[in-house]
Structure 1
Amino acid sequence: MNISIPITTIFAGALGVIYTGLALNVVKYRRGLQISIGDGSHNLIKEIAKKKDGDEVDVRKYNKLLGAVRAHANFIEYVPIQLILAALLELQGADKFSLKVLLGAFTFSRVIHISGITNRNFVGTTRVLGTVFTFITLFASSVACLYYGFNLLK
Structure 2
Amino acid sequence: MSTISIPVTATFAGILGVVYTALNLNVVKVRFGSRVLIGDGSLELLREVAHKKEGTTVDFKKFNKLMSAVRAHANFIEYVPIQLILAALLELQGVDKLKLKVLLSVFTLSRLLHTTGITKSNFLGAGRPIGTFTTFGTILISAIANIYVSYPAFRK
Q: Same fold (TM over 0.5)?
A: yes
Q: Structure 1 length normalisation: TM-score?
A: 0.97
Amino acid at match of 1:79: V
Amino acid at match of 1:115: T
2:38 counterpart SS class? coil
1:2 corresponds to: 3
Give the whole-Å Cα distance in 1 for the aligned partners of 2:79 and 2:152: 26
Give the whole-Å Cα distance in 2 for the aligned partners of 1:96 and 1:151: 20
Structure 1 residue runs without a partner (length 5+): none
2:128 corresponds to: 127
Task: State whether structure 2 residue 134 is matched by structure 1 residue 108.
Answer: no
Give the whole-Å Cα distance in 1 for the aligned partners of 2:48 and 2:25: 26
1:124, distance to aligned residue in structure 2 (A) = 2.8
Give the whole-Å Cα distance in 1 for the aligned partners of 2:53 and 2:7: 60
2:21 corresponds to: 20
Q: Structure 2 length normalisation: TM-score?
A: 0.96
Structure 2 residue runs without a partner (length 5+): none
Give the whole-Å Cα distance in 2 for the aligned partners of 1:102 and 1:39: 32
1:28, distance to aligned residue in structure 2 (A) = 0.9
Spell out, residue by residue over 1:72-127, the C-alpha distance to the aligned partner (whole angstroms, 9 max, x if none): 00000000000000000000000000000000000000000001111111013211
Q: Following superposition of structure 1 onto structure 2, how do residues 1-154 of structure 1 map, counting pairs within 5 Å?
A: 1-153=2-154, 154=156
- Computed over aligned residues only, the root mean square deviation of the Cα atoms, in angstroms, reads 0.8
Identity of aligned residues (%): 60
1:32, distance to aligned residue in structure 2 (A) = 1.0
Give the whole-Å Cα distance in 1 for the aligned partners of 2:120 and 2:23: 14
2:57 counterpart SS class? coil
Give the whole-Å Cα distance in 2 for the aligned partners of 1:17 and 1:124: 23
Could you list the structure 1 runs, at least 4 aligned residues long, displaced by more than 4 angstroms after superposition: none
